[in-house]
Amino acid sequence: MNIFYYDVAVDIPVRRCFTYKSISKIKKGTRVTVPFGRKTLIGIVIKVSSISTSIVKTSAIKEIISVDDQYICFKKPLFNTLLWASEYYHHPIGEVFLSFLPSILRKQTNKSIINIDESSNYKINSTDKNFDLTSEQEIALKKLKKIEEFNPTLIYGVTGSGKTEIYLRLVEKLVQEKKSVLILVPEINLVPQMLDRFKKRFDGEIGAYHSKLTPNQRLKIWLKSRLGGLKIVIGTRSAVMMPLKNIGAIIIDEEHDQSYKQSEGFKFSGRDLAIKRAQLENIPIYLGSATPSLQTLKLVKEKKFKQVNLLNRIDGKKPPKLIPLDISNSPLIGGIAMQTMGIIQSTIAKGEQALIFINRRGFAPLYECDACGWVAKCNSCESNLVFHKSKNRLICHKCESIYGVNDECPDCYSKEINLQGYGTERVEEVLENAFKKIPIIRFDYDSTRLKGAIESIYEKVHSNDAAILVGTQMLSKGHDFPKVTLCVILNADSGLISPEINALEKISQQLIQVSGRAGRNNNLAKVIIQTRYPDDINLKQIKTGNYQKFADQCLQNNKNLDLPPYSHVCILRTSSPKSKGSIDLLQKVSLFLAKKKGISLIGPLPSIPSMIKGNVRHHLIIKASSRSYLNRVLKSLIKDLENWPEIKKTKWSFDIDPYDMS
């Protein structure tokens, strides 16, 4: 009897595979159950093992318990994308593969079988497209339809230029060719709106895949896609490896959005993984944005990506004006200047809507004793606690710990507690007092958490005329609010003067995205930016609304300073119960890397927050001009590092292409 040996990746944080034997021939990418110590684990067959049976004692090699599916979970292009990802992100291979399986398949060994209606076909609803495209849309669509193979294309479209209609028509073509398509949006809140647009256009089942589904729902959509019963899937970054049969293209909406980056566990960029997948599948990938990332614009400049423009709104109207409002001498009520109040008043008097944007949720970011200066801090991470009035709780926004509210100071027993600063809840309260008869609708993490909350907020916004929306950056992303004619940005300054290297890219995207929410149906839209620096040189540039020109300047700047995307960055993060452990490890790493040419280091630095759940955190920023060189250096570092005694008590992880540098 023939015995075969396989290398299997299992769901544990180890950067290697384990060898097992079997009498069956098993294809790579197949899900198997294997013994592991005293447990059994689910694994993925990575390759036929190259162990030499003449050297290794084969009797010590354990046998694969079962082959769990009748199909291969990860077929070749997906398999190779994930193999690439584990190398590129230097993350344990088993976690990389298994994190893209629905949780049920990650845990259970039972075979999953489902009845699929193979005949699933889409009918195009022609009443939904009973209008003409603008000539600009026609030209863009013609160019985009010609792309048949991997040829990443940026769809640079200002807000209101009809990008979604372009997506719909591209999908129409694919559906007619019997191909399937994956559409990614950056946030779960954007799924319902996109799903709605697609449901109106296509009669037939459209899949939505994101973290708010139950494990069973996720399994069902995954299997249906895998077996060919579902051809259009809309999802967040967790959907990027959706095993769609006969995939014809990937669409990434709002490609610049930081939410594509997963910052916990396996830290990957959903956008970059999608691009790699499209390359290995050899299919077109379309990246849409009104404020493309510098990374994408650089690739366009280097002719590695194509660019198609939609520079005019479909209604033919001009984009809203961005008006900086100097607040250095005006008193603020809950963050709002008197002058701004007046403008809001006249907007709602006309039966129109205003949108107030503030990048902080909760009521007050500082809960402080007036008598002795004590400030409420989180016990496990030292961050300042944010007072949430609606829940009457103090909440840590870094680690989500929740604390009860005491109305006296724990240090001096004074009752003079002061609520400093303002967040969405406070702004909401101020507006409720000022405009008693007008609905004030809050749109932030807290108000949208529950299932169906987004839909009911939409309903409220659309069914009212005069109304005021108050929200965090969540509100700036791709939503349609046709009755909004005024946007107010309460605190742009923190972005304008931030020392972070990608701060300008972030703030310009944010300002232009927020302004894109205004005036979709109206000529007279305004965007007020409250600032203490009305003459700031960058603000003046952003104010023109010409994002591409501003981004070009940022690119040139970063090129001169050898910053990303012209250099490549990895952050090594450590955490340990004692401060010494986490910093000692990074110091040893610094010494190791100091010997390497062409690597520059910043740190070790304390992270923000410096402690999470009782563990002290530090990080080291590692930078190199060449991506492949950085990769090689990190590989040799890991090889060494894994034998160091220091890693026994200190957790460490890599963050490749970090978005957040703190």
Q: Which residues bind Zn ion (CB under 5 A)?
A: 369, 371-372, 374, 378, 381, 383, 396, 398-399, 401, 409, 411-412, 414
Q: What is the spatial distance between Cα 453 and Cα 439, in angstroms, rounded to a whole number?
A: 16
Minimum CB separation of residue 367 from Zn ion in Å reads: 11
Using left for φ > 0, alpha for ψ between -120 and 50, and beta otherwise, residue 593 falls in alpha
How many CB atoms sit inside 10 A of residue 113's CB?
10
Minimum CB separation of residue 8 from Zn ion in Å reads: 38
Q: What is the spatial distance between Cα 434 and Cα 298, in angstroms, rounded to a whole number?
A: 47
3-state DSSP assignment of residue 632: helix
> 629 burial class (0-12, 13-18, 19+ CB within 10 angstroms)?
middle
Minimum CB separation of residue 62 from Zn ion in Å reads: 43
Spatial contact of 461 and 484, defined as CB atoms under 8 Å apart? no
Question: At a CB cut-off of 8 Å and minimum separation 6, what does 187 contact?
Answer: 236, 257, 259, 474, 477
Spatial contact of 8 and 43, defined as CB atoms under 8 Å apart? yes
Minimum CB separation of residue 381 from Zn ion in Å reads: 3
Taking the least distance from each CB to Zn ion, the nearer of 56 and 372 is: 372
Cα–Cα nearest to 650, from 597, 575, 588, 580: 575
Using left for φ > 0, alpha for ψ between -120 and 50, and beta otherwise, residue 479 falls in beta
Spatial contact of 340 and 326, defined as CB atoms under 8 Å apart? no
Minimum CB separation of residue 385 from Zn ion in Å reads: 8
Q: Which residue in the block uniquely carries the two structure tokens 């790493």?
A: 589
3-state DSSP assignment of residue 29: coil
Taking the least distance from each CB to Zn ion, the nearer of 250 and 394 is: 394
Cα–Cα nearest to 616, from 656, 586, 654, 658: 586
| CA 58 to each of CA 8, 51, 54, 65, 337: distance values in angstroms, whole numbers, following the listed order | 16, 10, 9, 16, 76
CA angle (501, 504, 506) in 5-degree steps: 95
Question: At a CB cut-off of 8 Å and minimum separation 6, what does 179 contact?
Answer: 231, 246, 247, 248, 249
The string of DSSP codes covering 153-186 is EEEEE-TTS-HHHHHHHHHHHHHHTT-EEEEE-S
